[in-house]
Amino acid sequence: MEVQGESASDSPLPEDVFGTPRAGYGKWASCARILDISGSLTQDLFEFDNNEVAISICAVQFANREGEISIVIGTVQDLVFEPKRGAACGWIYVFSLINGGKTFSLVHKTKLAEIPGALCEFNGRLLVGCGQTIRLYELGKQKFLRKCEMKAFPNHIVSLWVSMDKIIVGDIQGSYFMVKYSPADNKFVILVDDTIPRWLTTGVMLDPTTICGGDKFGNIFVLRVPDTVAQQIDGDPSAGQVPWNRHIIGAPYKFEILCSYYVGETITKITKTSLTPGGSEILLYTTIFGNIGVLLPFSSRDDIEFFSNLEGHLRQEHKSLAGRDHLSFRSYYQPVKGVIDGDLCEQFPLATNEAQSKIASALERTPAEILKKLEAMRTSIS
């Protein structure tokens, strides 16, 4: 049976019943868009062809283009993830913005053999994390000019940050590294690395020596370069390359683990922000199941002791419905450290009157005072 000259098998299927058609495996479509957020209007659109997908972007003010901000985008051609991650090649596009920043103008593009997983500006140049390598490029007339590179990372670079004169490199399976660039020798040196390999999904810099990150197994962690190590690094003219360091596995210095906490879901994003103007800074995170969580730093030692004791008593009095020990759950991959479970503390109002009175007497408070303390902590976030 034919309908209007076409076979029934060729007629389009309704999307509300069968869903939107999807491209085949390894097929991609990607574009760069300038969006006017005040009116949600597209000012300009640049579509990438040849089955390319954009995976990294940054704004760079090149040294040989003073006063002009360029947009650099890293793309991958024929990207696949199975049986292992691979691609035909990678590209780095550099655009200048014209017409008052409303239009793209392609300057040139440079071909790479690896996947440009992360881009970052570094002292008027472009720092690229491609595969296991970090490279420093300078803007040329026809393409980017490679000035320096180091191939010393375990798997695949997914993030790059500049912290003062140091570079923080995030490897997808190897956690974070602190790298220093020596202009005199024109080379990179790894100064600090982590003691635990982590499968990174997101992260944020809290200060020049502190990183908060999340991994795909549901852990949130905070790493910091100890003050003594930071002073040694700044005062070491050899940049950690003295002979005795050759016998140490990994970098000469290690990150200190300040906090570790098992959420139970893959962390998709962490950001440092405040919910109200002038409010307290918090760490806001999201998970793959759509949950939103908040990490609030304590401002006094008394609050730390109070909530730590309250958490300890609730672990004994308020058992899980599954019968699982609370402390072992929050320490699923590594021991919980530096984080108090606010969700557990919020279970105090649900406890029986007898249990509330028992906990309150142990804390030398009344149940009403504990409830007031919980309410004050809850409202301090907003």
- Which CATH superfamily does the domain covering 12-151 fall into? YVTN repeat-like/Quinoprotein amine dehydrogenase (2.130.10.10)
Contact call for residues 271 and 204 (beta carbons, < 8 A): yes
The structural domains of the chain, with segments of one domain joined by +, span 12-151, 301-380
Helices (DSSP H) in the chain: which residue ranges? 15-18, 227-234, 301-317, 326-330, 342-345, 353-362, 367-380
Q: What is the pLDDT of residue 200?
A: 95
Which stretch of DSSP H or E encloses residue 103? strand 103-112
What value, to the nearest 5°, has the Cα angle with vertex 151 and ends 147 and 155? Answer: 135
CA pair distance 269, 212, nearest whole angstrom? 11
Q: What is the pLDDT of residue 238?
A: 58
CA pair distance 187, 185, nearest whole angstrom? 6
Assess whether the region 12-151 and the region 301-380 belong to the same CATH fold.
no
Compute the radius of gyration of the chain from its Cα atoms: 26
Q: What is the pLDDT of residue 2?
A: 41
Which residue, chain included where needed, has tokens 């984080």?
339
CA pair distance 182, 239, nearest whole angstrom? 8
Q: What is the pLDDT of residue 237?
A: 58
| Pair type for strands 187-193 and 253-254 | parallel
SS3 217: coil
Which segments within 164-237 are labelled E, that is strand? 166-171, 175-182, 187-193, 200-207, 210-215, 219-224
Q: What is the pLDDT of residue 178?
A: 93
Contact call for residues 173 and 197 (beta carbons, < 8 A): yes
Which stretch of DSSP H or E encloses residue 143? none
CA pair distance 22, 9, nearest whole angstrom? 18
Q: What is the pLDDT of residue 5?
A: 45
pTM: 0.85
Cβ neighbors of 28 (< 8 A, separation 6 or more) are 51, 52, 53, 79
CATH 2.130.10.30 fits 301-380, yes or no: no
Q: What is the pLDDT of residue 47?
A: 93
DSSP secondary structure of 39-98: TTEEEEEEEE-TTEEEEEEEEE--TTSTT--EEEEEEEES-B-SSS-B-SEEEEEEEEEE
pLDDT per residue of the chain (382 residues) written in tens, 0 to 9: 344 444 445 667 788 888 887 778 888 989 999 998 888 889 999 999 989 999 999 999 998 888 789 999 999 999 998 888 889 999 999 999 988 888 999 999 999 999 999 999 999 999 999 989 999 999 999 999 999 999 989 999 999 999 888 999 999 999 999 999 988 888 999 999 999 999 999 999 999 999 999 999 999 999 999 988 888 887 665 555 554 445 456 788 899 999 999 998 999 999 999 888 877 889 999 999 999 999 999 888 999 999 999 999 998 887 776 677 888 889 999 999 999 998 889 888 888 888 889 999 998 999 999 999 999 888 887 6
Considering Cα of 25, then 87, then 60, then 194, what sign does the dihedral take? positive
CA pair distance 264, 262, nearest whole angstrom? 6
CA pair distance 190, 187, nearest whole angstrom? 10
Q: Is 356 left (phi over 0), alpha (psi -120 to 50) or beta?
A: alpha
Structure tokens at 376: 């004050």
